[in-house]
Structure 1
Amino acid sequence: MTSRKPIKKAVFPVAGLGTRFLPATKAIPKEMLAIVDRPLIQYAVDEAREAGIEQMIFVTGRGKTAIVEHFDMAFELETTMGERGKDMAVLEPTRATPGDIITVRQQVPLGLGHAIWCARAIVGDEPFAIFLPDELMIAHKGSTGCMKQMVDAYDEVGGNLISVLEVPHEEVSSYGVIDPGAQVSAALTEVKGLVEKPPVAEAPSNKIISGRYILQPEVMRVLEAQEKGAGGEIQLTDAMAKMIGNQPFHAVTFDGKRYDCGSKTGFVEATLALALEREDIGAEVRAMAERLLAD
């Protein structure tokens, strides 16, 4: 197996305003909205840690300090809990090792590609992961998280990778999809192109692009041209498309479920689905849902 630089850095673009969840997000970042009892950003960071990623790069904007504070020490809280004999294990995932969390500012909302480019100095010449936290990726039982599945594939083929999911063909016009090439394995497909929201009759596949990426640092050279695409914004998809043919590019079909927590219905679905799976509250939630549906 060819030696490759390991994936140790991840970029989290979290500068968005979250206007679809107003007024809840007027003072709270959308990434801090909780699915049951963990904020969305925590799910993403936990997934990154499982994949062996050590450095989390948050691309933030004004009003996003709560994200960083979530991973800081809460002296007053922990002191009080300790004095009362409370179990503090629940706080373990929220404690970052010094130096593991780095923030950069995206002062102007110029698109996802621009947000990623803002992290260029920290990424340097290393391959890196990208997480879109409002796309909650939950693995099926017995499987590892989405990014761990992608890192395992990266160790096999290198280059650039994106996570994909199969949807009913009639739904493809709502998503970006891949133009597939050779099938490397059951879960790994060569990518020949990326098509944004194609008409159903013209879609090259039903494999939609979901919110996880592993990219080579050369993508930053493409993004620095600051070329604007759809919506007048600097699009990450456009930059990735230019990498195809120059470097290996593959899609990993995620063995799990994606919840679009950028929409209200997706957020509610994720909350209910994850609550039902919990050993501590699952039975009560199921009984509650049955009562509500019976009314």
Structure 2
Amino acid sequence: MTTFALRPPEGAPPRPSTARRASRRHRSWREALEGWGFVAPALVIVLGLTVFPGVWAFLLSFQKWDGFSDPISVGTGNYRDMIADPELQGAVAHTAIYTVLFVPASVLLGLFLAVALNRRIRFIGLYRTAIFVPFVASAAATGILTTYLFSPQFGLINNVLRVVGLPEQGWLEDRHEAMVVITIMSLWGQAAFTTVIYLAALQDVPGDVVEAARIDGANSWQIFWRVVWPQLAPVTVFVGIYQTLQAIQLFDLVYTTTRGGPLEATQTIVYYLWKVAFQNLQFGYGSAVAYGLFFVTLLVTIAVAVYSRKSGREAF
């Protein structure tokens, strides 16, 4: 019987040998290990600062623990106590008031500043930088500036009111005005973020569409409302969700100015959480409040995202 050796067709690449395939596989495994070696330290830090504390806080939310004695399991008792806690209800109301004041104002102010800065004028780079500087300022610096401006005794605002003959205000020491002051200073720092986002979105609006509308006889307001604004709808959804989450998590500015006062008029949910956990040493109840806040913000975000997608204005 005659046997014939099969030869590869003319022009076909030679089949790699077993040794060569093993070498390639070894090299790919080595490159993967090297990549994970570079990523592993940062991954460990991220997981250690997010996943582990989150799981531990979730377990603590079903316990009563002061940080020293042995924890006592209370089941869902902490969550039931949250419903009947009048101080927590007041913190929720103050946070809701702040959110209602802050979110629309930050969106509108950011849009106004972005439209004003979206033009070619001299020193435009300087103006844009000046707008963004408050966003990177620390909460401590913002708190010190707030105290200096709105102090009832020696604040700059009351000095100006005194000079022009208007009545002085209590500002941070008046329970009816303190949250307004917190909102104003939050706008001073956070409106820069919405300005940058809207400015980037405005520069992505097709210029030929705007020019076509102008040729058709549309004025500036009609161009903005009929052409530009529909292009900004997804960005507005994103900015609204982001600023709402920032408003719900307000803590640093309250901590550096009023410490929740006067008469707990500026005590927000996160500040109340901090006070319960780290001042009263009720770590289990504080963890329950934290997870209650987490689930509420998660549901709000999902609801807004689903509605925006159904209305054709999705931002994610």
More strand by share: 1
Larger radius of gyration: 2
Structure ranking higher on relative contact order (CA contacts 8 Å, 6+ apart): 2
More helix by share: 2
* Alignment TM-score, normalising by the size of structure 1: 0.23
